[in-house]
Structure 1
Amino acid sequence: MDVLSDVIASMRMGVPHSARIEWPAPWGQRFTAEPGSAGFQVVLQGACWVLPPEGEPTPVGTGDVLFFPHGHAYALADSPATPVAASTYTPHTPAELYASTAMEGTGPVTVMLHGGYQLDSTRAHPLLRGLPEMIHLPARLGHNTDLRAAVEMLGKEIDEPRPGADLVVSALLDMLLLYILRTWFDATMEHCKVDNWATALADPAISATLDGIHRDPAHPWTVESLGRRAGLSRAAFSRRFTQLVGQPPLTYLTWWRLGTAARLLRGSDAALSEIAAAVGYSSEFAFANAFKREFGTAPGKFRRQNEHAPA
């Protein structure tokens, strides 16, 4: 996989979930913190305010997307003055894949598309760790057309499910997550904000080496061979990679290999020797030693402890 797809696939656990909800004014809902999850909110119709635990309320309009990558608490309301109550729907908590609900009331209606993903918080990738508590992507005419199309299709599929809706909604939720991150990284670069991973993905040399590591972690990579792939000298490549990624090249390579091995141990019946070879270790013994240094337990024991973990 490419880097961004691989990062998302490595952290996603279980199945995503979503709901289309109509909120007639006055309404205010508090969403509690859910560590190890990520949630989104999209205004399909109307407007509302997002009320963070600290800081000023933020107005949100039709077409705006909110993304909470770390599962932090927040509240939504039709007005900053409206009292908020504990939510009857928690977008971070696994529930139905999709649902459509209309709350009771006679005031002006705000239609929201809610959703959430379970993430593996034990191996948080630095790409996601560096995201802010809340990402607000305002609707801009003629901009972010892929994101808008995914939102529109997802909202329609949830409101009017047809045969095959489970597969369609699941695929659209994955698309939406990728489009949200793409849009955020593009906006970050457009406004010249400091964000190491956004810069790393946009840097042709570093992006090429990350792509090589993610597509073929079993390859016997060295700093020299990665530098050649980047078109840079060994010293220049190592310096730039460390600055943008936050880890030296071989440190990141080892971290990624062992995280990949952990996913294979959880989600497959492959023999330890096969997993060792798949992530670049020439022997099961060398793999077991490296894995134990990283996770504090032997690969076989790790597999037994995680055999019922959600995939």
Structure 2
Amino acid sequence: MDTISSAVSSVRAGRANGRRLRGSGAWGMRFPSFVGIGFHVLLRGEAWLIAAGTAPARLRPGDLVIAPNGAEHGLGHAPTRLERLPVFPATGLPAPRPADAEFLCGAYRLDNGRLHPVLRGLPRTIVVSPDRTHHPELATLVSLLENDVAQAQQGNWVTRSALVDLVLIHALRHWYDAPGATGWTATADPAIAAALDQIHEHPQHAWGIEQLASVAGMSRTSFNRRFTVQVGLPPMTYVTYWRLACAARLLRQTTSGLATIARQVGYSNEFAFATAFRREYGLAPGRFRNRPDPLPR
């Protein structure tokens, strides 16, 4: 599993939200910070991205705005200061049709747990302007998500989750491939990337520092130091984080028993798994699985 896919998959503990936003006249909206990742696609019209610490960015149809770590940002009809925009959804929704600007939005919100280090390390906002000639798949995915959001049908949460995932993965890959992109430094280190690949692919394995250092072709001390610097977490802390992120996804997306999930993510018994899960997510696995789905925001 590549790093971008692993980062996006780590937020699947929550269900994906999707909606349309419209604005006409002197419209604007500010999105408060949250734990998670979200995006807006400008479907038609023109708009401006407003974010703290950067100049307003003009958006054109087809442009995607990604908030990889849920940073506060805003959208509006003209450049302005972020604090001057009303908090969503005070204005801009609903709007008459046809509206001056229309967006398709998607997000994963984490009410429990931590955001993946790769997402925490990305810029607060990213603008992607895909070349439809060379990357038609992104436009196709946006169209499919647009249709999914427009129709309330049984099983929508399954398709919406898959489509939000794919839009995010393709958009982030597009951005990573562009000149000047700055991302997670661990992805540029072949030794650390090799260890991460093994952790991501085999969370059930009884990993230890010696084994991971061997995968990376390094001494234990050097590996521990370099991994911690580049990833932002010590190796075994990251192993635990990834195992429990996988478990949270399985709890939300499958009906497998707790003992089965415990084995799938590397715990010898249900009690050890439940203790670790409660420490990370603040809820017992059963309560986490049975909590109501978050309302669309």
TM-score (norm 2): 0.75
Moved more, 157-166 or 279-288: 157-166
Secondary structure of 2:10's aligned partner: helix
2:145 corresponds to which residue?
154
The whole-number CA distance in structure 1 between the counterparts of 2:256 and 2:53 is 46
Q: CA offset at residue 176 of structure 1?
A: 0.5
SS at match of 2:78: coil
Q: Deviations along 1:162-192, whole A, 9 cap, x unmatched? A: 99994655432221021223233334xx426
The alignment status of 1:36 with 2:23, answered yes or no, reads no
Give the gaps of 5 or more residues in structure 1: 92-100
Q: How many percent of aligned residue pairs carry the same amino acid?
A: 37
Tell me the CA shift for residue 116 of structure 1.
2.5
- 1:209, 1:230 within 8 Å by CA — same for their partners in 2? yes
* Pair 1:103 & 2:95 matched: yes
Q: Kindly provide the CA deviation profile for residues 30-50 of structure 1, in whole angstroms up to 9, marking residues without a partner as x.
A: 134152343311122232112
Alignment match, 2:128:
137
Q: Decide whether aligned partners of structure 1 residues 249 and 153 sit closer, same or farther in structure 2, where only a CA change above 3 A counts.
A: same
Q: Give the Cα–Cα distance (whole angstroms) in 2 for the partners of residues 165 and 283 of structure 1.
A: 33
| 2:102 aligned counterpart, secondary structure | strand
Question: What are the superposed Cα offsets for residues 227-277 of structure 1, whole Å, 9 maximum, x if unpaired?
Answer: 3333444444434323321233223223333444555567756244x4443
Tell me what 1:59 maps to.
58
Structure with max Cα Rg: 1
Letter in 1 for 2:180: H
Supply the distance in 1 between the matched residues of 2:243 and 2:46 (Cα, whole angstroms): 45
AA in 1 matched with 2:72: A
Figure out how many residues of one structure are paired with residues of the other and give that number: 289
Kindly tell me: are residues 133 and 121 of structure 1, through their superposed partners in 2, closer, same or farther at Cα, counting changes over 3 Å? farther
Aligned partner (choices 186, 190, 193) of residue 204 of structure 1? 190
- Closer/same/farther in 2, CA of residues 149 and 258 from structure 1, 3 Å limit: closer
Q: Which residue of the partner structure matches residue 239 of structure 2? A: 253
Give the match for residue 114 of structure 2. Answer: 123
Deviation at 1:5, TM superposition (A): 3.2
Distance in 1 separating the partners of 2:248 and 2:169: 23
Q: Which residue of 2 aligns with 1:220?
A: 206
- 1:161 & 1:54 partners in 2: Cα distance? 38
Closer, same or farther: CA 170–282 of 1 in aligned 2, 3 Å: closer
Q: Tell me the C-alpha RMSD between the 2 structures.
A: 4.0
Unpaired segments ≥5 residues, structure 2: none
Larger RCO, structure (CA 8 Å, separation 6 or more): 2
Q: Distance in 1 between matches of 2:243 and 2:149?
A: 41
